[in-house]
Amino acid sequence: MDTSKLVAGIALTLLFGSAVTHSAPPLPGKPWIMPFDVDQRFPPSRIHPSLSGEPSQREVYEFAWRSFIALNWPYKENGLRGQPDPKARLAPITNLPLPDDLVVWETYMSPETVFVPPQQWPVHWGKPDTSGLVRISTPPCYNGNYQYGTSFAPGINQPYTSANVPTGPVVDQHKEYLRVEVTLGRSYFDYIKQFGYFDSDTQEQAVRKYIRYANRKGESPPPAQSPSDNASRFQPVPTGLEFYLDQLPLYARQGLTEVKAAWKVLKLSGENPDIPGRYFRRLMRFPLPDGSLGEPVLMGLVGFHIHRVTPFGHLPSTFEQVDNVRIGKRLFDPLPKPKHPTLNPGGTGGHPARYDNGYEVNGESGVAGVIPLPYKDGEQLIPVDERERINVSRVTPIPLQVQLVNWKYQTLLRDSVWSYYQLIGAQNKNLESPNPRLGPGISGPQTSNTQNLVNTTLETYTQRGFSCARCHLNAFPQGVTSFPPYENRFEDLHVMSFLLLNAKSGSNPAQDTECSSSYSALP
């Protein structure tokens, strides 16, 4: 039985009743503003109200979609970073080889902009570096003590194994590498600024004081509630209720937000070209070995991670373009379909392609030496005609409840390019079978709503027993030298974000900190 048709029928009934209409329900009020929390649309005036009960898992998925819409709302030209344009409309469906307007998350700061040597602070949020349709990529950089002795090229390796040891790149069916970017929102920036965590020395000192207090008192230190409070101990990442966020505009007054995005090169001619209208598009320039920039290349968004922190907790979610591993189906599709998915040649007999462990290189998977090695800093890229394609499939199916929410929002957005994107899932504490011994944050797949949550463009090579939580459980501020126990007193050290590890020491001489550019651009 074709489950996609079943899902379509159920979704349409839920949306419109028994009769299908030709007008989509409206988006929630002020959709350009991210929801403050799962159960609360806008920030509270003073304190977060007590909840009548836990939200449902479906509400978490709705929260993820609304966050996705707000992050991809058009940026207000000449506004501050992250400022949406309330008068704009979401990117339309236009099957032209042209870039779309700049969106909110693209104007957020890159970690490399925030974590300059402390001697170069203050850094100001201000306006983005560009508001045009062409921009330079903002890849994640790798900092610290590298396990293998050499730093890694930014933006081309998959940056998920740990903060500074990535896994190798992904090669699509056109033999082009996927590219990766990372940005962080205003509240995260203000947190780093408020407590001086752009300096690794400050982080380490604050962590030492936090641990001493937690061990002595048997509880976590009280967080600072005002500028006059003691903030010398490490402070929890922002949920949106903090005093230092009070003066932010409504569109920025949420908790920690960080984005990780994956892009593909759009092939516009030759055999089996891409259908540009099915992608959110951006012209990007990539660094050349001599430090200069290559010519602009039209890219299509294929993967999108969101990490948000709210009073409810850590709420990671992940989205993909619908054609990544199987051709997306939609009713009354105004665009032609591609000949094959982005990341595999297609299945047989009308079924999607399937590979052991979710990937295949030359017919092999899950054996040593198959996964491409990560590029080290300064390495030239393998020429296009010598690259091995990575065939990718999805190991864990998208849950039915997620598919239903996808149909709802894809219908709401049916006139927008964002209707060609889908939520793969979200990870949060288990709402169906609550665990009274649930650890802090998302203490792992064993206590969360899912054991597997993987984006095929960003965690291609670890699709079994892997998730946002399993990866980000290894993220701590600098100064944490051993894994803290899952006890409430250490909860605030489980920051679930690797970005603080990019901070440099203010006691060391300032050095050039440009994100490494010594890797070749797209040929």
pLDDT in tens, 171-203: 999 999 999 999 999 999 999 999 999 999 999
What residue numbers bound the domain in which 500 lies? 64-506
Q: Which of 58-72, 288-302, 347-361, 435-449 has the highest mean pLDDT?
A: 58-72
Q: Please give the C-alpha separations between residue 148 and each of 164, 376, 459, 477, in angstroms, as whole numbers.
A: 10, 10, 21, 22
Q: Which residues, at least 6 apart from 22, have a Cβ–Cβ distance to it below 8 Å?
A: none
Confidence of residue 46 (pLDDT cuts 50, 70, 90): low
DSSP 471-489: HHTT---TT--SPPPSSGG
Closest to 159 (Cα-Cα) out of 134, 184, 135, 179:
179
- Identity of the residue numbered 6: L
Q: Cα 476 to chain center, whole Å?
A: 18
- 47 domain residue, yes or no: no
- 138 domain residue, yes or no: yes
- 98 domain residue, yes or no: yes
Q: Cα 23 to chain center, whole Å?
A: 31
**Beta 179-184 vs 297-310: how paired, if at all?**
unpaired
pLDDT for the residue 463 = 77
Does the structure show a pLDDT above 50 at 14? no
Q: Please give the C-alpha separations between residue 114 and each of 17, 184, 191, 499, in angstroms, as whole numbers.
A: 49, 9, 11, 10
218: left (phi over 0), alpha (psi -120 to 50) or beta: left
Calculate mean pLDDT across residues 25-45.
88
Tokens at residue 358, please? 């979710």
- 131 domain residue, yes or no: yes
**Distance of alpha carbon 433 from alpha carbon 68, whole angstroms:** 27
Calculate mean pLDDT across residues 254-276.
96
Please tell me which residue, 141 or 251, carries the higher pLDDT value.
251
Confidence of residue 288 (pLDDT cuts 50, 70, 90): low
Residue with tokens 């209409």: 21
- Identity of the residue numbered 126: G
Furthest C-alpha separation in the chain: 69
Contact status, residue 254 vs residue 50, Cβ threshold 8 Å: no
Calculate mean pLDDT across residues 76-84.
97
pLDDT for the residue 292 = 67
**345-354 b/e (C-beta count within 10 Å ≥ 16 → b):** ebbeeeeebe
Number of separate domains in the chain:
1
pLDDT for the residue 441 = 45
pTM over 0.75: yes
- 20 domain residue, yes or no: no
Contact status, residue 318 vs residue 304, Cβ threshold 8 Å: yes
- Identity of the residue numbered 498: F
pLDDT for the residue 290 = 60
**253: how many CB neighbours lie within 10 A of its CB?**
21
- 515 domain residue, yes or no: no
Confidence of residue 42 (pLDDT cuts 50, 70, 90): very high
pLDDT per position as a tens digit, 85-114: 999 999 999 999 999 999 999 999 999 899
Q: Which residues, at least 6 apart from 275, have a Cβ–Cβ distance to it below 8 Å?
A: 95, 335, 336, 337, 338
- Average pLDDT of the chain is 84
Residue with tokens 């500028």: 227
Q: Which residues, at least 6 apart from 15, have a Cβ–Cβ distance to it below 8 Å?
A: 25, 407, 408, 411
pLDDT for the residue 520 = 35
pLDDT per position as a tens digit, 383-396: 999 999 999 999 99
pLDDT for the residue 145 = 42
- 226 domain residue, yes or no: yes
Confidence of residue 129 (pLDDT cuts 50, 70, 90): confident
- 405 domain residue, yes or no: yes
Q: In angstroms, what is the C-alpha Rg of the chain? A: 22
pLDDT for the residue 362 = 85
SS3 sequence, 366-415? CCCCCCCCCCECCCCCCCHHHCCCCEECCCCCCCHHHHHHHHHHHHHCCC
